[in-house]
Amino acid sequence: MIEITDLNKKFNTQSVLKDLSLTIAGGEFCILVGANGAGKTTLLRILAALVRPDSGEVLLEKEPLFADPSLRRKIGYLGHQSLFYGDLSAWENLRHYARLYNLSNSEEIIRKCITQSGLTPHQHKPLRTYSRGMQQRLALERALMHSPSLLLLDEPHSGLDQDAANGLDERLRQLHLKGCTLLVAAHRPQRLLQSATHAAWLREGQITDKVTLDQLSDIPGLDSYIREVK
């Protein structure tokens, strides 16, 4: 699904990713772990084609990611921000995204997204009146509304209360069962251990280890990192 080879990215003089290589097969649910500033967000932004790497190759389904804009249709991205317009309602924001993705049955999809996020009573209120958690729930639906085959999530649980976080875990599990490939950056990844299949450890700009969760105990450092970070 994704093949990353010798990826490098610098911001000014600071090297964030250094010769990073990583392969994610179709259908994997991979947790990307790493300390603050390790480069998780930068890696996900490159995979979402939002930032161009300085060097290296990113292939999505064997095609260069940055060569063909239509490849971005296969990607769903949820970052630290909601990507919504505060003056528009949930309905209007989603309709805008439906137009950007040229979705044919947009009304039905938007209705489903709003129902799924539990925001039906608030759907016509401006987004700026929503709490962080409500925006995050809607942002997840925005990332999924065009049915991407690759989902990139950056700290998706942030801002969610316990019930919403549990709902998100269940949603991710179902998406994985349907065949969606997931790469989830998580600073505190324990809650994803039940549904994820792989874990990749990003340290000092490189993926130092990538294993299935069954093999986690073979990498004591990663195992203890995942289980002990709180």
Residue ranges that bind other proteins, judged by CB under 8 A: 48-52, 69-73, 75, 77, 79-88, 92, 96-97, 99-102, 126-127, 135, 142
Q: State the minimum distance, in angstroms, from the CB of residue 103 to other proteins.
A: 11
**132/188 with CB nearer other proteins:** 132
CB nearer other proteins, residue 118 or residue 126: 126
Nearer to other proteins, 73 or 191 (CB): 73
Instruction: Give the nearest distance from C-beta 32 to other proteins in angstroms.
Output: 19
In this complex, which beta carbon is closest to other proteins, that of residue 34 or of residue 76?
Answer: 76
CB 90, min distance to other proteins, A: 13
Q: Which is nearer to other proteins, 84 or 201 (CB)?
A: 84
Type of residue at 121: P
Per residue, the 3-state secondary structure of the chain, as one string, reads CEEEEEEEEEECCEEEEEEEEEEECCCCEEEEECCCCCCHHHHHHHHCCCCCCCEEEEEECCEECCCCHHHHHHEEEECCCCCCCCCCEHHHHHHHHHHHCCCCCHHHHHHHHHHHHCCHHHCCCEHHHCCHHHHHHHHHHHHHCCCCCEEEEECCCCCCCHHHHHHHHHHHHHHHHCCCEEEEECCCCHHHCCCCCEEEEEECCEEEEEEEHHHHHHCHHHHHHHHHCC
In the complex, what is the shortest distance from the CB of residue 147 to other proteins, in angstroms, rounded to a whole number?
A: 13
Shortest Cβ 27–other proteins spacing (Å): 22
